[in-house]
Chain A
């Protein structure tokens, strides 16, 4: 964050991100939570652009917002006839888990703040992001690339088998 413009954009994006993330976990209506999740994922894509990962930002918008969030909304509409009812959405250990998360976040922030490696870290040179990503995926990371396609196929078949109506 060398230039002041980048800093301003970062603060705006992180403010939107954290507020919408808090809305995702705290709102009562699960449908509104899904809409705030979309806003949250958009701001994560903005953070990726700030970090110089343009392809990743595009993939975030396409996969997360275009597929995962829409899938969530479909599942909400399919399952919950109780989506709009004002029932309680949280269980009874809210206070305990709030303190657990507070302690976790605080100690981790302390740890990060006291580590000096990234105090003096400098930005790497900006590269031709998408071109290099494609090159790495086709040469060095060829095997994980193929394995992950098998994983996607397995997830697809598994979802079809699970959600199919049993006829007996």
Chain B
């Protein structure tokens, strides 16, 4: 149990690092997927070791996967829009919403 939680924490930290440092929007989205996966590992591990009756953790993980897929679709559509309007997908140039 401890090993799975530690693995999820390290994976989440790596994803957080990617979100904070990436300049590319697609890179940020990929790091977000890493963080979702860390959360999923936690849910399934808790379902196996702590709440063993019922499959609530796995069902929640399924919903997380679905929501992550929807988020990726909308996010990549926004990436296409940014690329069309700014001719590039650097986050540093997309700063008109500063206030």
Contact = CB atoms under 8 A, between A and B. Distances in A.
Interface of A: 1, 10, 14, 17-18, 21-22, 24-25, 30, 33-34, 37, 40-41, 44, 47-48, 51-53, 55-56, 59-60, 63-64, 67-68, 71-72, 74-76, 78-80, 82, 88-91, 93-94, 97-98, 100-102, 104-105, 108-109, 112-113, 117-119, 121-125, 127, 129, 132-133, 136-137, 141, 144, 148, 151-152, 154-156, 158-159, 162-163
A80 B83 CA distance: 9
Interface residues of B, number: 68
Interface of B is mostly: helix
Contacts of A41: 33, 37
B21 A132 contact: no
B33 A37 contact: yes
Nearest to A45: B37
B24 to A, nearest CB: 6
B9 to A, nearest CB: 5
Residue among A119, A127, A155 having the largest count of chain B Cβ atoms under 10 Å: A155
B77 to A, nearest CB: 4
A137 B13 CA distance: 32
